[in-house]
């Protein structure tokens, strides 16, 4: 009966060692990629939560609209503000188009959810979402 050469056994073990080392290093790379993806996903989720909280903050929306409406430019104009559970409706009527333009610029430059906007020569109807 012939014996197995000890060099073959050593060579077999070295081959198995290198194959296992290669497979472990590939799995390590995959793990690092997945962990980076989860970190990126967590940061995007946090950004989304922060943005949705700031855009849907009812106190901020009311404060912003009140600041705009209390401006001295709009004191002599006819302004109607009604609030519901999901939105705030504002109607401003005037014959001066500059006042309407100023109002529209101020509203559009703020961080508000505008659900509906009607423009006419003498009035603006604005619906701002709160939820």
Same domain, 38 and 79: no
For residue 124, the cross-strand partners are 92, 119
Q: Are residues 32 and 71 in the same domain?
A: no
How many structural domains is the chain composed of? 2
- pLDDT per residue as tens, the chain (131 positions): 578 888 999 999 999 999 999 999 999 999 999 999 999 999 999 999 988 887 778 888 889 888 988 888 888 889 899 988 888 999 999 888 888 999 999 999 988 889 999 999 899 999 998 87
Per-residue confidence (pLDDT) for residue 1, from 0 to 100: 54
Interior angle at CA 52, CA 79 and CA 36, nearest 5: 160
- Three-state DSSP at 70 gives coil
User: Where in the sequence is the domain holding 37, given as residue range(s)?
Assistant: 1-55
CATH of the domain at 75: 3.30.1360
Give yes or no: residues 66 and 89 share one domain: yes
Task: Answer with the one of 13, 33, 55 that is the final residue of a domain.
Answer: 55
The whole-angstrom separation of Cα 73 and Cα 63 is 18
Last residue of a domain, one of 55, 82, 98: 55
For the full predicted model, state whether its pTM sits above 0.75.
no
């Amino acid at each position: 009966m012939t014996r197995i050469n000890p060099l073959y056994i050593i060579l077999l073990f070295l081959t198995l060692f290198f194959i296992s080392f290669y497979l472990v290093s590939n799995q390590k790379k995959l793990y690092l990629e997945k962990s980076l993806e989860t970190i990126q996903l967590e940061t995007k989720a946090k950004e989304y939560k922060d943005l949705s909280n700031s855009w849907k903050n009812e106190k901020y929306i009311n404060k912003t609209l009140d600041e705009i409406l209390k401006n001295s430019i709009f004191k002599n104009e006819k302004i109607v503000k009604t609030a519901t559970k999901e939105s705030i409706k504002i109607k401003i009527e005037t014959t001066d188009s500059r006042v309407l333009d100023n109002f529209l610029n101020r509203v559009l430059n703020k961080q508000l959810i505008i659900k509906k906007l009607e423009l006419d020569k003498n009035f603006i109807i604005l619906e701002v979402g709160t939820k």
